[in-house]
Chains A and B, each alone.
Chain A
């Protein structure tokens, strides 16, 4: 093949340009720290990056709901322990009151103590977590439990002792759901009806009735019935505690899983998007050597001409 001066010059310039453009590419990767800067850079990396990004987005959404749910459950759990303590004290008091040898005055003061415990139940049932009533079902901003002028307890405005009221029964299913995973909505709130129970045997009314009985001066066998009722109340609380404990465990497990997944996808995202500085630098050095060599050889060949040898 016949080689002309222009072929040498053009070839030299073209190769120089190719070398320079790969140098610029590496330089950009190093200075930005990213190797994926446009969606046209590398389709397979792009797919991997977008996948990681959308998973990370979901995970952080689930994580923030999880945290809210865990806070809620912690508050619920401590309320349940308080309630359990109250019931234990009520049980001991009732046992003491069933003793026939007590005087009228002693019974009165025990009745007062029960009244205090009864009011504590009301306070606990109206507990809040970050300004929200936790046992009100969907009624989070208004005190769910109130006592009317006759001393009857009302839940969300309805008589808690009327266990045939369909509205009240419906409220039992208003547990607040949190989406904590793909297609996983967990009902994390304990409704007021689940907490205290409905009908005449709800925790508040049991204590209220005990108070009335005691302050009426009754003793012995009259009280025995209440001891059984309090025990039943306590076992109701234990059941709820068990459910909440299980739920908390499940959420904590999810938290761990998401923390792990978050690591995995952050790594995947970084592998897809970020420049491996060591690798890029090595490539850069190689490209730099080629560029230098091309310049040196090129300029030497370009300078050569038959004219150098003609007199």
Chain B
């Protein structure tokens, strides 16, 4: 027969577990809106009777309940999916946002200022020049519109180079954020391993580490695995970034030059101590590096845009100069009619030295509008036939506007148009990609929330259940107490 006091022990375990369950519920409710919090549950098991009792008494009643652990409810599978989703989202959201910004710089839909408008105005003044080659005002107009075209190209070029520089700096800043996450994760690894030696799970530390891992996966693509001590190893492109409590931090070395722009101090990313650069394919870091270095139609980045503008600028200078050089100027002062004059400035290293950033009018044309060569024969103001009305070269200059056989370009306007459209499409597709990636991640986050999130309704129901269990266990104690009372006070008093 079991001791009557055994019942008290059993009821006590029930009382105790209900109380703890209410604490866990309180904790869940308190953290209902805490970022990264994973709901917790008591995991319990029934206690079996002692071997002695079972062996000797033959009848066995369980010995109550025991708290095994306070466990978290999370799905490692969804976490893993979500983190690869975060890498893609980190890439696509940064890219979409930045491409949109670039599109606001290259504002070709504007009615006030754009490269297309500047080009069109330049053509317009050339067309007027061909109608009145001797008119000084119209010549000034050609000079000013040429200047405007150069300045517009210069402005766009410099804005884009500024943007390229800022992406370079953003890479450095991203590397700093990655490093702080890596250091934090290595530290959590150490704490979790130490805590879990006790056999209890380090729930709160795991929540924090998971949060840091989420954050890290938005910055760079990662592979990770957890070992038996609860510590995770992080790898990117074959390089180990975190191993147990060691973090191998990234280093941004300013050893590159900017593609096309040739700006200095561009960062190459290394794992500290490694000889070869880190290989990464996703996250915000990759988005910035693609924007900084992208020079193909597939990966449109700043260098792609700069290269196109440079080609345009170079070709404008080359073609207009070739025609302009055949023309003759109106004599300025005492000098005669000149020929072989450049319209656009040619730097010392030739046309290859021209970029959209430095294209300018030649010193001659800037100095005097009469140095615009519109005539195909020398102009002599003292002769009976001055030839001032000769517009043959002006016509040829204007014909370049509609020419479709320009080397490397085809037609200036069409080239510009197709370049702008490519940038626009690239931005649109970045937006679309981001929207679909966002949907995927939202869906996964919902699934994670569905598993790990706190539901107030559910907690209240649990609270009621535990409250009742607590009350029942208390009643149990009262009942046993009554029995003892009967036994002690009212048993064996016959005849007294």
- What is A's interface to B at a CB cutoff of 8 Å? 1-7, 10-11, 14, 34, 36-43, 46-47, 49-51, 53-54, 57-58, 60-62, 64-65, 68-69, 132, 136-142, 144, 146, 154, 156-158, 171, 174, 176-179, 182-183, 185, 273, 305-307, 310
Q: B446 and A39: CB pair below 8 A? A: no
Q: Which residues of B contact A46 (CB under 8 A)?
A: 108-109, 420-421, 424
Q: A182 and B402: CB pair below 8 A? A: yes
Given A2-B450, A39-B107, A307-B456, do A57 and B120 touch, yes or no (CB 8 Å)? yes
Say if the beta carbon of B454 comes within 8 Å of chain A: yes
Q: Which residues of A contact B375 (CB under 8 A)?
A: 138
Q: B417 and A51: CB pair below 8 A? A: yes
Say if the beta carbon of B276 comes within 8 Å of chain A: no
**Which one of B128, B384, B388, B420 contacts A64 once the chains associate, using CB atoms below 8 Å?**
B128
Q: Which residues of A contact B407 (CB under 8 A)?
A: none
* Known interface pairs A39-B420, A138-B385, A139-B385; 18 further A-B residue pairs with C-beta atoms within 8 A, sorted by A's residue number: A1-B447, A2-B458, A4-B458, A5-B32, A5-B457, A6-B453, A7-B450, A39-B427, A40-B427, A41-B428, A47-B421, A50-B421, A138-B387, A139-B384, A140-B386, A146-B384, A156-B384, A177-B392
Given A6-B33, A65-B131, do A140 and B455 touch, yes or no (CB 8 Å)? no
**Which one of A51, A64, A182, A310 contacts B460 once the chains associate, using CB atoms below 8 Å?**
A310
Secondary structure type dominating chain A contacts: mixed
In the bound complex, how far is the Cα of B428 from the Cα of A2, in angstroms?
36
Whose C-beta in chain A lies nearest to the C-beta of B457?
A306
Q: A138 and B123: CB pair below 8 A? A: no
Whose C-beta in chain A lies nearest to the C-beta of B446?
A7
In the bound complex, how far is the Cα of B404 from the Cα of A200, in angstroms?
48
Say if the beta carbon of B234 comes within 8 Å of chain A: no
**Which one of B100, B116, B389 contacts A176 once the chains associate, using CB atoms below 8 Å?**
B389
In the bound complex, how far is the Cα of B127 from the Cα of A138, in angstroms?
17
In the bound complex, how far is the Cα of B377 from the Cα of A138, in angstroms?
10
A288 to chain B, nearest CB (A): 22
A3 to chain B, nearest CB (A): 7
Q: Which residues of B contact A185 (CB under 8 A)?
A: 395, 399
Given A5-B456, A139-B389, do A57 and B124 touch, yes or no (CB 8 Å)? yes
B374-408: which have CB < 8 Å to A?
375, 377, 383-392, 395, 398-399, 401-402
**Which one of A43, A137, A144 contacts B425 once the chains associate, using CB atoms below 8 Å?**
A43
Whose C-beta in chain A lies nearest to the C-beta of B422?
A43
**Which one of A10, A41, A49, A60 contacts B449 once the chains associate, using CB atoms below 8 Å?**
A10
6 A-B pairs with C-beta separation under 8 A: A2-B455, A11-B446, A40-B424, A58-B402, A62-B127, A157-B385
Say if the beta carbon of B143 comes within 8 Å of chain A: no
In the bound complex, how far is the Cα of B425 from the Cα of A42, in angstroms?
8
Closest 8 CB pairs of A and B: A157-B384, A140-B389, A40-B427, A156-B385, A4-B453, A57-B120, A39-B424, A138-B390
B255-308: which have CB < 8 Å to A?
none
In the bound complex, how far is the Cα of B131 from the Cα of A69, in angstroms?
8
Q: B446 and A5: CB pair below 8 A? A: no
Q: B431 and A136: CB pair below 8 A? A: no
Q: Which residues of A contact B109 (CB under 8 A)?
A: 34, 36-39, 41, 46, 49, 273
Whose C-beta in chain A lies nearest to the C-beta of B110?
A37
B114 to chain A, nearest CB (A): 9
Say if the beta carbon of B461 comes within 8 Å of chain A: yes
In the bound complex, how far is the Cα of B120 from the Cα of A156, in angstroms?
37
| Interface membership of chain B positions 416-435, coded 1 if the CB is closer than 8 angstroms to chain A and 0 otherwise | 01001101110110010000
B161-211: which have CB < 8 Å to A?
none
Q: A39 and B450: CB pair below 8 A? A: no
A151 to chain B, nearest CB (A): 17
Say if the beta carbon of B130 comes within 8 Å of chain A: yes
In the bound complex, how far is the Cα of B460 from the Cα of A306, in angstroms?
7
Whose C-beta in chain B lies nearest to the C-beta of A185?
B395
In the bound complex, how far is the Cα of B391 from the Cα of A132, in angstroms?
14
In the bound complex, how far is the Cα of B210 from the Cα of A90, in angstroms?
108
